Structure 1
Amino acid sequence: MFKNSHQKKTEAHSIFTPADGSFVSLETVPDPIFSNKLVGEGFAVDPSNGIIVSPVTGEVTHISQTNHVMTIRNAEDIDVLIHIGLETASLKGEPFKALVQMGQSVKKGEPLIDFNLTYLKDNAYSPLILVILPNIKNKNYSIIWQDEVTLVAGETKILSVVER
C-alpha cells in the first residue's frame, strides 16, 4: 500500500514535455532572463509542430492576453509556466489560439494552445518553448532530471520535483 501511495506522489510531482520536439537546456536559451534562471528552473523544447499540451494535471492559473504564456498549477501548488517563443509578445497574439480558459481544470496531455509554427519561426526571435517552474525556488524541493533528447508531448517525463 505504501508503494502505491509513493508512486502516485511521484507521478504528481512529474513534469512532462508540453510539446513534440527536441530537448534544449535552459542554460543555452538565447535570452539571459531564462538562461540565467531569473524566472526559475526549467528547460526548453525546440518544437516540431504547433500544439502545446498540459505538462501536468492541474488548473490553468494564468493566460497572457496574447496567448503565448500560460501557467498550470498542480495539486501540490507547483506552477508550470509555458512560454512560447522568444520576443513573441510583439506578435500581439497573431499565431496563438488558447484552447482552454482561466480556472479550467486540465489533465496531463490535454491540448492547451494551438499555434502556427511556420509563422512563429518567420516572425519571432526564436520558436523555443520554455517550461519554467517559477515557484519551487522558495520551497524545499530538488529536481531529478531525466535524460531525454526526442520529446513526445504529454508522454515524455523531463523531470521530477521531490521534497528535500
Structure 2
Amino acid sequence: MFKKLFGKKSVEEQILAPVSGKVVSLDDVPDPVFSQRMMGDGVAIEPDNGQVVSPIDGEIVQLFPTNHAVGIKTKSGVEVLVHIGLETVAMEGEGFEGHITTGDKVQAGDPLVTFDINLVKEKAKSTITPIVITNYDDIVESFEPVYEEAAKAGETNIMTLQTK
C-alpha cells in the first residue's frame, strides 16, 4: 500500500558479467568477507582476461584509489561492487588501470578497469572477482544467480533481482 501511495515501484534488474569467465557461487570464494556475505549477496567470476566492464547502467559511486574495486549504483538504487581479485589492495594499484572516475555515468558493457591478470595471479591471493549487491538487505526482494561456464563480459546475465 505504501509503495502504491508514493509511487515507488518494484524494478527487475539484470546484472551482466563484468568480466569474462566461469561464474561461481560466493560460497566458493576463499575469503570470508565474501563467502559469508558480509558485504552483501551476489556471485563471483574466475576471469579469463583482464578486461572489466560495467555490469549495469548506472553511476560510478566509488573507484578505489588502487583501481581494484568499483562501486556502481543503478537508477533504481541497486549498488553493485565489482572487486577484482582477492587481497589485490596490497598491490597498491600495480597492474590496474581505471578508465572511469567517481560520478561518471556508465552503460552496461562500458570499460571500467583493465588489469594484468598474470601479475594478479603472481602477487595476489586469487583472481576470483566477486560481484556483490552491497545494499542487498535494504533493496532486494528476490534474487536469482545464473551460473555460466563461459560468461562473456557485458553480455551474459549473471544475476536477476527484484527490488523491494
The answer to whether TM tops 0.5 is yes
Paired residues of 1:12 and 1:75 also in contact (CA < 8 A): no
1:61 is displaced (CA, Å) by 0.4
Paired residues of 2:10 and 2:163 also in contact (CA < 8 A): no
RMSD: 1.7
Letter of the aligned partner of 2:66 in structure 1?
T
Paired residues of 1:67 and 1:98 also in contact (CA < 8 A): yes
Q: Which residue of 2 aligns with 1:56?
A: 56
Q: Which consecutive unaligned segments of at least 5 residues does structure 2 have?
A: 1-8
Q: Which consecutive unaligned segments of at least 5 residues does structure 1 have?
A: 1-8
Q: Which residue of 2 aligns with 1:5?
A: none
SS at match of 1:89: helix
Deviates more, 1:132-141 or 1:67-76: 132-141
Are residues 1:41 and 2:41 paired?
yes
Cα offsets for 1:70-122 (capped at 9, x unmatched): 00101101001010111111100001100011100000001100100000001
* Number of equivalent positions: 156
Letter of the aligned partner of 2:100 in structure 1?
V
Distance 1:88 1:71, change over 3 A: same
SS at match of 1:37: coil
CA distance in 2, matches of 1:31, 1:140: 23
Paired residues of 1:16 and 1:56 also in contact (CA < 8 A): yes
1:12 is displaced (CA, Å) by 5.9
Paired residues of 2:12 and 2:162 also in contact (CA < 8 A): no
Letter of the aligned partner of 1:57 in structure 2?
D
SS at match of 1:82: strand
Q: Which residue of 1 aligns with 2:78?
A: 78
Q: Which residue of 2 aligns with 1:26?
A: 26
Letter of the aligned partner of 1:144 in structure 2?
E
What's the TM-score once normalised by structure 2's chain length?
A: 0.90
SS at match of 1:126: coil
Identity of aligned residues (%): 36
Q: Which residue of 1 aligns with 2:69?
A: 69
CA distance in 2, matches of 1:27, 1:132: 12
Are residues 1:135 and 2:140 paired?
no
SS at match of 2:70: strand
Paired residues of 1:12 and 1:74 also in contact (CA < 8 A): no
CA distance in 2, matches of 1:147, 1:20: 12
Letter of the aligned partner of 2:19 in structure 1?
A
What's the TM-score once normalised by structure 1's chain length?
A: 0.90
